[in-house]
Amino acid sequence: MVSRVRLRIEALPGMILFLLIGCTSVSPTEELSIPDEWVSQDQSGWVESQGILFLEGTPFSGWKYAIEEQNDTLYLGGFVDGLAEWRHVSKYPDGQLSEIRHFKNGRQEGLGQEWYENGQKAFEANFIQDHYEGSVRTWYENGQPHEQFQYQNGKEEGRQQRWDGKGNVLANYEVREGRKYGFSGTKHCTSPWAVDSLDMGGL
């Protein structure tokens, strides 16, 4: 049996503690919902299958973390019965944020964000039970907008736009009740009375 690394929160390395509480405060309810067990991602026995994280064959409950070593990404995420919970944070080796995601019962909930290594935001979207809800935005590494889509109940609805890295429009269309009207970047513009909607791949 491989021994697990168990640490009280007071004994955690400073960077892990910062990953845990550096961005937002931890309420007692959130903190107590995840067992006080801390296991490095370097520990052998990790397996992920169908959205469930296992350690040594058992669904994991506790905190999985990574400490900077040989320029690896810093990471901290909580799990209950193998399902992702609360806030999962990744950072680049220099401490710059790479990604923040929020989970409930293994599904993304709330705001999800990603950044490039230079600090420029790359992605931002709100999630409800793993589905996009509201505005979904992406950017190029130079800061120029890439995409701005609108979602309702996990499906495109409303104004949808895409640009190249210089700000030129690649797509500008509207989705109403599942039908697309406008310039999708793959066909010419169509009128709102067209019989067939335009085709376009997802994000």
pTM of the prediction?
0.76
Quick one: what percent of the chain has pLDDT higher than 70? 73
**Above 90 in pLDDT, residue 80?**
yes
Residue 93: predicted pLDDT: 85
Domain of 201 in residue numbering reads as 109-203
Place of tokens 């640009």: 163
* Cβ proximity of 72 and 119 under 8 Å: no
Q: Is residue 95 part of a domain?
A: no
Confidence of residue 71 (pLDDT cuts 50, 70, 90): low
Both 77 and 149 in one domain: the answer is no
Both 133 and 178 in one domain: the answer is yes
Both 79 and 133 in one domain: the answer is no
Q: How far is it, in rounded angstroms, from Cα 117 to Cα 113? A: 13
Report in angstroms the alpha-carbon separations of 146 from 1, 69, 92, 119, 151.
Answer: 49, 33, 23, 16, 16
Both 71 and 113 in one domain: the answer is no
pLDDT per residue over 140-199, tens digit each? Answer: 999 999 999 999 999 999 999 999 988 999 999 999 988 999 987 754 433 333 333 333
Q: How far is it, in rounded angstroms, from Cα 155 to Cα 33? A: 32
User: What is the tally of structural domains in the chain?
Assistant: 2
Confidence of residue 70 (pLDDT cuts 50, 70, 90): low
Both 74 and 136 in one domain: the answer is no
